[in-house]
């Protein structure tokens, strides 16, 4: 008869398989039958796993374990020299939602040079920010307005919008920034707040028009 520990060991070995479908099933197996002995292996694999679907399953498997077992293992990964390790650890922390991880969300992470890491940090920050810290976080996030391409800007807008009303004065200030890209991004985000059904593309085009005309987009 195969013991639980043997099943876990077999699944962890399968996480090294060249076939992503085998790795996916292995991560599913570990998450279906959580075992504290598997946490180290799951975290280590998250740092190097190239397949998006497998990474998502690894994160799910980690969320199936107690935060007391996973969070302490994930925190060092956030300071890793590997962008993939930082990004996936932040993504997993955002899914776990344990606010004890909040201190790891530093200004350096929120402005990480790697767009995927920064986007993961924004999502994690919104998920972990302590009650009452929303305005301060909005100020930190606003330093990234105008950054990157469409996906990066949309991610930042979503993060700011998730903070609710505390971010509105921050957007109002950014809408008068000297940089046109910053102004346009701030105006587009504020318009999405007022009209969530408008869609990001429409809000961006409207914001560009406002900036081109020299306005700040703050309507009464």
User: Is 207 inside any structural domain?
Assistant: yes
Mean pLDDT of the region 161-165: 95
User: Is 175 inside any structural domain?
Assistant: yes
User: Is 112 inside any structural domain?
Assistant: no
User: Is 146 inside any structural domain?
Assistant: yes
Pick 3 or 208 by higher pLDDT: 208
User: Is 24 inside any structural domain?
Assistant: no
Give the ranges where the chain is alpha helix by DSSP (H).
4-14, 20-32, 39-46, 52-63, 67-78, 83-96, 107-110, 115-128, 134-142, 150-162, 168-174, 180-194, 200-212
Contact 87, 55 (CB under 8 A): no
pLDDT digits (tens, 9 = 90+) for 176-195: 999 999 999 999 899 888 88
pLDDT digits (tens, 9 = 90+) for 35-82: 999 999 999 999 999 999 999 999 999 999 999 999 999 999 999 999
Q: How high does pLDDT run on average in the chain?
A: 90
Per-residue pLDDT for 2 more than 50? no
Per-residue pLDDT for 4 more than 60? no
Contact 51, 84 (CB under 8 A): no
What is the tally of structural domains in the chain?
A: 1
Dihedral angle sign, alpha carbons of residues 50, 52, 56, 57:
negative
User: Is 208 inside any structural domain?
Assistant: yes
| CA angle at 92 for the pair 89 and 96, rounded to the nearest 5° | 135
CA distance 143 to 26: 41
Q: How far apart are the first and last CA of the chain?
A: 72
Percent pLDDT > 90 in the chain is: 81
| CA angle at 32 for the pair 29 and 36, rounded to the nearest 5° | 90
Residue 217 burial (10 A CB sphere; 0-12, 13-18, 19+)? buried
Residue with tokens 């999405």: 192
User: Is 197 inside any structural domain?
Assistant: yes
User: Is 56 inside any structural domain?
Assistant: no
Query: Containing domain of residue 180, as a range?
Result: 138-220
Position 7 scores a pLDDT of 86
Per-residue pLDDT for 218 more than 90? no
Mean pLDDT of the region 118-136: 97
């Amino acid at each position: 008869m195969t013991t639980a520990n043997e099943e876990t060991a077999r699944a962890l070995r399968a996480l090294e398989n060249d076939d992503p479908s085998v790795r996916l099933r292995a991560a599913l197996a570990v998450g279906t039958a959580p075992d504290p002995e598997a946490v180290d292996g799951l975290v280590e694999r998250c740092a190097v796993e190239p397949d998006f679907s497998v990474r998502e399953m690894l994160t799910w498997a980690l969320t199936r374990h107690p935060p007391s077992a996973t969070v302490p293992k994930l925190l060092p990964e956030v300071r890793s020299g590997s962008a993939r390790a930082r990004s996936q650890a932040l993504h997993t922390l955002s899914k776990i939602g344990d606010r004890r991880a909040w201190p790891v969300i530093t200004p350096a992470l929120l402005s990480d040079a790697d767009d995927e890491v920064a986007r993961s940090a924004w999502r994690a920050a919104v998920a972990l920010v302590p009650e009452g810290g929303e305005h301060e976080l909005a100020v930190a996030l606003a330093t990234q307005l105008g950054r990157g391409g469409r996906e990066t800007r949309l991610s930042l807008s979503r993060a700011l919008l998730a903070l609710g009303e505390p971010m509105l004065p921050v957007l109002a200030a950014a809408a008068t920034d000297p940089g046109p890209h910053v102004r346009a991004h701030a105006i587009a985000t504020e318009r999405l707040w007022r009209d969530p059904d408008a869609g990001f593309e429409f809000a961006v085009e409207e914001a560009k028009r406002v900036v081109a005309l020299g306005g700040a987009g703050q309507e009464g």
